[in-house]
Amino acid sequence: MLDNNEISETLNEFKKELEKTIIFIKNEYQGIRAGRANPHILDKVLVECYGVLTPLNQMANINVTEARILTINLWDISQMKNVIKSISMADLGVNISDDGRVIRLNFPILTEERRKEIAKSVKSILENTKITMRNQRRDCIDYFKKLKKDGDISEDDLTYYEKEVQKTFDNYVAEVDKIHSAKEREILEI
């Protein structure tokens, strides 16, 4: 017979995987702009600095100075051209200006059409996240079905664990839906 520690460990591992999925969707949504200046939009911008690709947020102080303006204060002014080039190549939909010392990113007001496009991409991220979560649920339930087949747990145990997995899954899906709804509201508000 199987000990309860292994079963508890499996359920805990399932929860950890769902937590990682929640963290993933939050990070993805952070990088999507909604018409306001958001420093996280630059998280994935890499700059060639002395022959090495370096994240922009490790080369400068990035601040929101107004609702739609980010300022970038580089620690090494000699990298200004490389930074501007990298931001331009990232195609963030911002207007870039500099005064030789500070780079300013102006976030234009989003059109309704652009807001709807962004909302669609946010919905796509949600759907992919839910697919991942369903796969994680399936894998966990398959593990319990294998235990039942091997005679390590009873039919009643299998039913109980399937319900536990489903209950946990439903809670995390509700959290993902809440995160999505908040992001969608943020994008669609004018």
pLDDT digits (tens, 9 = 90+) for 75-86: 988 888 988 888
Mean predicted confidence (pLDDT) in 88-101: 84
Which residues touch 107 (CB under 8 Å, ≥6 apart)? 33, 35, 36, 37, 68, 69, 70, 93, 94
**pLDDT of the residue at 135:** 96
DSSP state of 92: -
Are the C-beta atoms of 123 and 22 separated by less than 8 Å? no
The C-alpha atoms of residue 161 and residue 145 are separated, in whole angstroms, by 10
Residue 33: pLDDT band (50, 70, 90) is low
Give yes or no: residues 52 and 141 share one domain.
no
Q: Residue 50 belongs to what domain range?
A: 39-106
Give yes or no: residues 101 and 116 share one domain.
no
State the CATH number of the domain containing residue 47: 3.30.1360.40
Residue 13: pLDDT band (50, 70, 90) is very high
* Residue found by looking up tokens 């930074």 in the block: 83
Are the C-beta atoms of 94 and 106 separated by less than 8 Å? yes
* Residue found by looking up tokens 């709807």 in the block: 116
Give yes or no: residues 59 and 81 share one domain.
yes
**pLDDT of the residue at 27:** 87
Give yes or no: residues 27 and 118 share one domain.
yes
